[in-house]
Amino acid sequence: MAVFTEVSFDEAAAFLSALDLGQLQNIKGAAGGIENTNYFVDTDQGQYVLTLFERLTFEQLPFYLHLMKHLAGCGIPVPNPAAGKNGDILHKLKDKPAAVVNKLRGHSELAPTADHCAGVGEMLARMHLAGLDYPHHQPNLRGLPWWNSTAPVVLQHTTAEQGKLLLGELAYQNHIAESSAYKTLPRGPIHADLFRDNVMFEDGRLTGFFDFYFAGYDTFLFDIGVCLNDWCVDLPTGRHDAGRADAFLAAYQSVRKLTAAERTLLPAALRAGALRFWISRLWDFHLPREATVLQAHDPGHFERVLRERLAHPVRMTA
């Protein structure tokens, strides 16, 4: 659970009532998550999630909140931010940017089957298409420039061998980003952090995607790589699970066919996804922030996934 900023019952009650969301009945810190402060809040009108943003600014947040609103309006099951009387969906609480969204039904599938992976693949493709006419633009703030600037910081916490791998991969991704094939990749708003704990299921059916606060304008292929690295690898080995990955990719392609460049660059995208989360986990682990309860994720897991991606590149066959 991550609660960086404590909110009392009375503070939450006044805040929700000002948004016309009813009388607060219950408030509870949300288990899971490492980025923001999340509370489950139940009122006499419904169940909501109250988020206080800990790293993102008032300038950055409209991109994410309006993206969720846009996708919800296109029928993609994502939380829809609640508007205040003036129509704003970005609010302020305890001097922090804040938002309230509807609570999605269901639970996370932490041991997904091929069917769950197919559900995610299909909805991801639908989300990519729905985002194409989203008018706002903000880069993926955890993209290549961030990896380049953060790698020197985390390198101090790695062994010489790990450092060599990390720097080698970084050089490889900078090289790929300059290639003509990379420049042709289809792009749009992507989720960029669609892990098992950011998707809800009920009775085996997908009920929603949430946690859009790493979203940004980037290649659809990067989003696919991030998903395959989480949904379609074995834990704890980090080994590729071909059955789940094939189900994911077939379902994705039933909605949007991958281009030739995407098929060629899939192995590079899988390495990119592993590198991104290895760097961020090293960063979170070795430079932790103050929180009431915060469970840092294991950086070693993405080092293993990266090594697996290098040792056994996954090429598309169908």
Ligand X SMILES: N[C@@H](CCOP(=O)(O)O)C(=O)O
Ligand Y SMILES: Nc1ncnc2c1ncn2[C@@H]1O[C@H](COP(=O)(O)OP(=O)(O)O)[C@@H](O)[C@H]1O
What are the residues binding ligand X (CB under 6 A)?
33-35, 193, 195, 197-198, 211, 277, 280-281, 297
Structure tokens at 71: 């996708």
Cβ proximity to ligand X: between 35 and 122 the closer is: 35
281 binds, among ligand X, ligand Y, none (CB under 5 to 8 A by kind): ligand X
User: What DSSP state is assigned to residue 139?
Assistant: B
Phi-psi region of 33 (alpha: psi -120 to 50; beta: other; left: phi over 0): left
- What is the C-alpha to C-alpha distance for residues 307 and 301, in angstroms, rounded to an integer? 10
User: What DSSP state is assigned to residue 97?
Assistant: E
Residue 33 interacting with ligand Y (CB under 6 A): yes
Cβ proximity to ligand X: between 1 and 83 the closer is: 1
- What is the C-alpha to C-alpha distance for residues 126 and 9, in angstroms, rounded to an integer? 38
Segment contacting ligand Y by CB under 6 A, of 181-189, 206-214, 239-247, 256-264: 206-214
Residue closest to 283 by CA, chosen among 275, 291, 272: 275
Residue 166 interacting with ligand Y (CB under 6 A): no
Largest CA distance in the chain: 57
Residue 34 interacting with ligand Y (CB under 6 A): yes
Cβ proximity to ligand X: between 4 and 277 the closer is: 277
Other residues' Cβ atoms within 10 Å of the Cβ of residue 91? 22
Cβ proximity to ligand Y: between 182 and 213 the closer is: 213
Segment contacting ligand Y by CB under 6 A, of 27-35, 127-135, 148-156, 308-316: 27-35
Cβ(224)–Cβ(252) below 8 Å: yes
Least distance from C-beta 54 to ligand X, angstroms?
11
Segment contacting ligand Y by CB under 6 A, of 97-105, 219-227, 292-300, 310-318: 97-105
Other residues' Cβ atoms within 10 Å of the Cβ of residue 204? 11
Structure tokens at 10: 């009375």
Cβ(54)–Cβ(4) below 8 Å: yes
**Dihedral angle of Cα 87, 59, 199, 140, to the nearest 10 degrees:** 140
Helix (H) or strand (E) holding 29: strand 24-29
Residue 24 interacting with ligand Y (CB under 6 A): no
List alpha helices for the chain, DSSP H: 9-18, 61-73, 114-131, 144-155, 160-177, 180-183, 220-231, 242-253, 260-286, 299-311
Structure tokens at 111: 């041991």
Segment contacting ligand Y by CB under 6 A, of 67-75, 100-108, 153-161, 238-246: 100-108
- What is the C-alpha to C-alpha distance for residues 45 and 53, in angstroms, rounded to an integer? 24
Cβ proximity to ligand X: between 254 and 295 the closer is: 295
Cβ proximity to ligand X: between 43 and 51 the closer is: 51
195 binds, among ligand X, ligand Y, none (CB under 5 to 8 A by kind): ligand X
Interface residue with ligand Y among 63, 213, 231, 283 (CB under 6 A) is 213
Least distance from C-beta 36 to ligand X, angstroms?
8
Count of chain residues binding ligand Y (CB under 6 A): 18
Residue 36 interacting with ligand Y (CB under 6 A): yes
Residue span 61-80 as binding mask against ligand Y, x where in contact by CB under 6 A, dash where not? ------------------x-
Least distance from C-beta 283 to ligand Y, angstroms?
15
Contact residues for ligand Y, defined by CB under 6 A: 2, 30, 32-36, 38, 49, 79, 101, 103-104, 197-198, 210-211, 213
